[in-house]
Structure 1
Amino acid sequence: MAQVRAFVRAAEEMHFGRAAGTLGISQQALSKRIARLESLLGTDLFQRGGNGVGLTAAGQRFLQPARQTLAAADAAVAAAVGKDRPLRVDVWGHLYAPMRTLAQVAGRAGELVLGHGRDLPSVAAALLHGDIDAAFGRVHPPLHAGLAHRLVRLEPVDAVLSADHPLAAEPALRPDQLRGGVLWAPGALDRLDFLHQFADRFDIRNRASSVNLGLAHFLAEVAGDPQRFSLLPADVPRPEIPGLRSVPLVSPTPLYAWSLLWRTGNRHPGLTSLTAACAAEAAQSRWLEYNPAHDWLPEPPHTR
């Protein structure tokens, strides 16, 4: 299994050094494991050259069954050690405070251990590697075939802007009214899928980004320039920032989709409890209300 795991990590990273780092072993040890696996199979799995590594045709055929084998092995270990291990849950999209939603269901989901993922790709990799059991944040394509997800919450999004912004006194705004402003993003826009799609959909051509140093710093940057605006889910607790206005968006109302994500084949009983708790809270708090005539989502809603 160590040899198969070394192969899968190397195939996902396409770099032996990075793959070795994720496994906590030396690059030499990883290379030896893969060489031993190739010897046992009687075929090369990787093409090695001056431009890096790539999968051979045999390696491409072997990758998906190898992933399934690892998942089965992890399930076997979990069955052997019992069902008392806490569910390992990670989150991403920290600027939008995902923990506040998880906090509303955590008490009904059994024992949880929380991590601190940075973005969807890193959390998805942790799920595929078996480092965590579930994750919570905004899911968007492309998504690996070995992962499943369930929509948990659709949250209306407000515009946040300086009190000196020309539209600051409006009781509500249509997204297209923001075309003349500068969309301020807490990082590179190509890594912030929701903001990127919003800007494309509503023809927001003036875009700029900052370094994500936390919500208070980000909102202070927005408040400090009368041309800037950004988007924030309506229920995110806002720090007291002088000169900042929050205005609802209507016609349509953008909705930020929060989803639970997990690796297919994971049979941890806490995962069933967590999905059930999310579904119950969504029904009670009307988290999944969506009207395509009045709301906007980058992707159509689906539950799994």
Structure 2
Amino acid sequence: MDTEALRSFVRAAELGQLQHAADELGVTQQAVSKRIAALERELAVRLFTRTARGVELTFDGQAFLPHARTVVAGVERGIAAVRRESRALRIDVLGFRSAQAVILHDYWRAHPETELDVVTLRADDPHVAVAAVRAGDIDASFRSVTDPATLPRDVRMVHVLDFPLELLVGPAHPLASARTLTPAQLRGHRIWVPGIAPRSEWAEFYEELAADLDLPIDGTGPNFGVEVLLETLADSPEVATLVGARDRLVWPATYGLRRIPVERPTIAYPLSLLCRRADPHPGLRAIIDHFRGLATVPAPAWRPSWRGR
């Protein structure tokens, strides 16, 4: 069934004049008449009777009108959903406590007129995010593909920010009283990052970090969530972990956890954005500029090799 015919029928019924409907739809009265006539032939009923004042619905037209309105409204909602300039910018973040989500929230608070739809894909492999970008399920994703040669031509990866990592320890840990630490001072201390997922960007990040800086990264055990990790750190004199400097972490005051900057070199985690190469969402440029305008990581800094690819 022709949706333009349905739209012409609905507007003529609401306005009571074929000419008024034509003016609103930006077509001729003859075009509206032909559309409605074709609709009547398809339905095998008369929808209007002509009067001196214009047109009036028949009983069949009155019965058909609410259903036609529903169809037209559904089509208009569908069009709005795929027209990037008229819908919210859909961005995937690794987690709602992650630094990327925190910075994105800061941007939105400064620009509350921006329509954002923030989601998190339940996938560790960044190529899942690439597929979602290509399919139009999301406009962009804060993920990194460590081998850009595997990216399809219609998707690009834009580096937006490096953010420093900090050591997070409990009050009984031997490093808890330090104001700053160097990577060399972390050697010999267990750095627990549970649930490092194969094929994830952070798996490669921690593998290179352990090899280059000779750090004991322990990825054993399942990931039971942030709360369990924080509770473990609070009770342990031996376990530490690494967290992003902007990650949003909250714990009870009784835990006494310490976040300690790591310097000389700073451990820098590269943050990239995956998006379509052609016709990106118009709101994306301002987001990229905001992230790139933030403070850079203090030098000297260690970055994974794929940061420069």
* TM-score when normalising by structure 1: 0.62
Aligned residue identity for 2:223: N
Q: Quick one: which of 202, 208, 211 aligns to 1:200?
A: 211
User: Any conservation in 2 of the 1:95–1:214 contact (CA below 8 Å)?
Assistant: no
**1:112-127 equivalent positions in 2, closer than 5 A:** 112-118=116-122, 119=124, 120-127=126-133
Q: CA deviation at 1:225?
A: 2.3
Q: Quick one: which of 283, 289, 300 aligns to 1:279?
A: 289
Quick one: structure 1 residues 170 and 178, their matched pair in 2 at CA, closer, same or farther if it must change by over 3 Å?
same
Work out the percentage of aligned pairs sharing the same amino acid: 30
Quick one: structure 1 residues 82 and 88, their matched pair in 2 at CA, closer, same or farther if it must change by over 3 Å?
closer
Q: CA RMSD in A?
A: 3.0
Counterpart-to-counterpart distance in 2, 1:280 and 1:235: 15
Counterpart-to-counterpart distance in 1, 2:91 and 2:101: 11
Counterpart-to-counterpart distance in 2, 1:137 and 1:109: 25
Counterpart-to-counterpart distance in 2, 1:122 and 1:222: 32
User: Any conservation in 2 of the 1:149–1:261 contact (CA below 8 Å)?
Assistant: yes
Q: Quick one: which of 270, 278, 293 aligns to 1:257?
A: 270
The residue that corresponds to 1:72 in the other structure is none
Counterpart-to-counterpart distance in 2, 1:248 and 1:217: 22
Rg larger for? 2
Q: CA deviation at 1:189?
A: 5.7
User: Any conservation in 2 of the 1:187–1:209 contact (CA below 8 Å)?
Assistant: yes
SS at match of 2:271: strand
Quick one: structure 1 residues 301 and 248, their matched pair in 2 at CA, closer, same or farther if it must change by over 3 Å?
same
Q: Quick one: which of 224, 238, 246 aligns to 1:227?
A: 238
The residue that corresponds to 2:258 in the other structure is 245
Counterpart-to-counterpart distance in 1, 2:277 and 2:212: 32
User: Any conservation in 2 of the 1:160–1:244 contact (CA below 8 Å)?
Assistant: yes
Is 1:130 equivalent to 2:136 in the alignment?
yes
Quick one: structure 1 residues 200 and 223, their matched pair in 2 at CA, closer, same or farther if it must change by over 3 Å?
farther
User: Any conservation in 1 of the 2:230–2:251 contact (CA below 8 Å)?
Assistant: no
Q: CA deviation at 1:202?
A: 1.6
SS at match of 1:209: coil
The residue that corresponds to 1:154 in the other structure is 162
The residue that corresponds to 2:189 in the other structure is 181
SS at match of 1:104: helix
Greater CA drift, 162-171 or 249-258: 162-171
Counterpart-to-counterpart distance in 2, 1:163 and 1:218: 15
For this pair of structures, how many residues does the alignment match? 220
Counterpart-to-counterpart distance in 1, 2:81 and 2:290: 28
Q: CA deviation at 1:275?
A: 2.4
Counterpart-to-counterpart distance in 1, 2:146 and 2:249: 26
The residue that corresponds to 1:64 in the other structure is none
The residue that corresponds to 1:45 in the other structure is none
User: Any conservation in 1 of the 2:206–2:217 contact (CA below 8 Å)?
Assistant: no
Quick one: structure 1 residues 237 and 295, their matched pair in 2 at CA, closer, same or farther if it must change by over 3 Å?
same
Counterpart-to-counterpart distance in 1, 2:188 and 2:98: 25
**1:102-113 equivalent positions in 2, closer than 5 A:** 102-106=104-108, 107=111, 110-113=114-117
Structure 2, unaligned runs of 5 or more: 1-78
The residue that corresponds to 1:145 in the other structure is 152
Q: Quick one: which of 195, 209, 212 aligns to 2:223?
A: 212
User: Any conservation in 2 of the 1:83–1:268 contact (CA below 8 Å)?
Assistant: no
Structure 1, unaligned runs of 5 or more: 1-76
Counterpart-to-counterpart distance in 1, 2:188 and 2:88: 49
Q: CA deviation at 1:97?
A: 4.4
SS at match of 1:83: helix
Q: CA deviation at 1:301?
A: 4.9
Q: What stretches of structure 1 move > 6 A for 4+ residues in a row?
A: 77-80
Counterpart-to-counterpart distance in 2, 1:137 and 1:104: 19
Q: CA deviation at 1:104?
A: 2.5
**1:153-172 equivalent positions in 2, closer than 5 A:** 153-172=161-180
Quick one: structure 1 residues 93 and 299, their matched pair in 2 at CA, closer, same or farther if it must change by over 3 Å?
farther
User: Any conservation in 2 of the 1:150–1:260 contact (CA below 8 Å)?
Assistant: yes
Q: CA deviation at 1:83?
A: 3.3
Quick one: structure 1 residues 240 and 221, their matched pair in 2 at CA, closer, same or farther if it must change by over 3 Å?
same
Q: Quick one: which of 283, 300, 305 aligns to 1:299?
A: 305
Counterpart-to-counterpart distance in 2, 1:220 and 1:179: 23
The residue that corresponds to 1:5 in the other structure is none
Q: Quick one: which of 75, 100, 104 aligns to 1:98?
A: 100
